[in-house]
Structure 1
Amino acid sequence: MTETPQSNLPNVSLAQRAWAIRRNALLMGEVQGQGYIGQALGAADVLAVSYFHALNYRPQDPEWEGRDRFYLSIGHYAIALYAALMEAGILPEDEIGTYGMDDSRMPMSGMAAYTPGMEITGGSLGHGLGIAVGAAMGLKRKDNPAFIYNMMSDGELGEGSTWEAVMSAVQWRLDNLICIVDFNDQQADGKTTDALASGPQAPQWEAFGWHAQEVDGNDLDALTAAFDKARALTDPKPRLIICRTQMCKGVPFLEAREMAHFVRVEPEEWSKALQILDEGKPT
Structure 2
Amino acid sequence: MRLDKNFSMCFPPQHQKIQPGKECDMVPLPIFQLDEYSFCGNRLKDKVAIITGGDSGIGRAVSIAYAMEGAKVVIVYLNEEKDANFTKKIITENNGECLLINGDIGDEKFCNEVVKKTMDKFSKIDILVNNAAEQHVCENLEDITKEQFERTFKTNMFGAFYLTKEVVKHMKSGSVIINTTSVVAYHGHETLIDYSCTKGALTSFTRSLALNLAKKGIRVNAVAPGPIWTPLIPASFDEQKVSKFGSQTALKRAGQPVELAESYVFLASKGASYITGETIHVNGGEIVNS
TM category (shorter chain) comes to: 0.3 to 0.5
Q: TM-score, normalised by structure 1?
A: 0.40
TM-score when scaled to structure 2? 0.39
